[in-house]
Amino acid sequence: MSSRWLSRLAVAAATAGAVTMMTATSAWAAVTITLNPAHVGKTPGFQEDCSGPFANLPGDKDGWHFILPSASGDNFLQLDLVFTKPGGGSETVTITSNNAGSPSVDTTPPTGEWSGYFDNAGAVDKHAYLFTDEGWTLASGTAQVDGAAAQPSDTFNLSHTCAGDGPPPTEPPPTTAPPTEPPATTEPPGNGGSSPPPTTTTPGGGLPVTGTAIGGILIAGIGLVAAGIALLAIRRRRDIADLTES
């Protein structure tokens, strides 16, 4: 075979190799797909399952499990989710890491508003676990995936959730009883409910004259009468004595 033919074969092989590599790269390039429309607006409690990573979920956190169907790609590369909060406003969550033997990936429930990671099934990252504050609502989502079958029209799914139980209830503050009315004043027994008899006062603001004072006056009067009679008797005896002597 001449050197010219060898050169032509080499050029043809190189061209075919380049085309093959470009085709393969195009087939496995990252593709952006969207959240299944049927799962938009879901809240914690959807297909409740608190097993696995959600077994020890704190009461004030919710768990979310997303899955990439085989027909939609082989791996999650990035997951972007938008949530609305109970008090208003929204939060965008972006997951880019997996827990395949990496100690730097936090696979525990968050101390902040959220945390999440990809989990592999065999050799591919087809699962995503997310922990959020309690009560968020899933508003929308997109995912970057790879795989020969990935197409922009494909979707990923919300597999299930685990709703937190909420913070422990607090004791209600004690209620203050309304003040009670003082009891009505009652008349003392023995006078039939009538007013007490008026007391007689002496002129000049003296003490009132009671029954005991009247008795004393009577006794004094009797004593004076007796004294007068005794004096009269003594006087009469003297008069009789004087008449006898004369």
* pLDDT tens digit sequence for 47-96: 999 998 899 888 899 999 999 998 999 999 999 999 999 989 999 999 99
Mean predicted confidence (pLDDT) in 33-47: 96
Spatial distance between the Cα atoms of 136 and 116, rounded to a whole number of angstroms: 15
Taking alpha carbons only, the member of 105, 108, 153, 152 closest to residue 125 is 105
Backbone torsions φ then ψ of 132, nearest 5 degrees = -130, 170
Block residue for tokens 């959240």: 35
Spatial distance between the Cα atoms of 135 and 86, rounded to a whole number of angstroms: 6
pLDDT at residue 156 is higher than 90: yes
* Least confident piece of the model among 67-71, 146-150, 191-195, 226-230: 191-195
Vertex 126: Cα angle to 123 and 131 (nearest 5): 125
Residue 190 CA to its chain's centroid (Å): 61
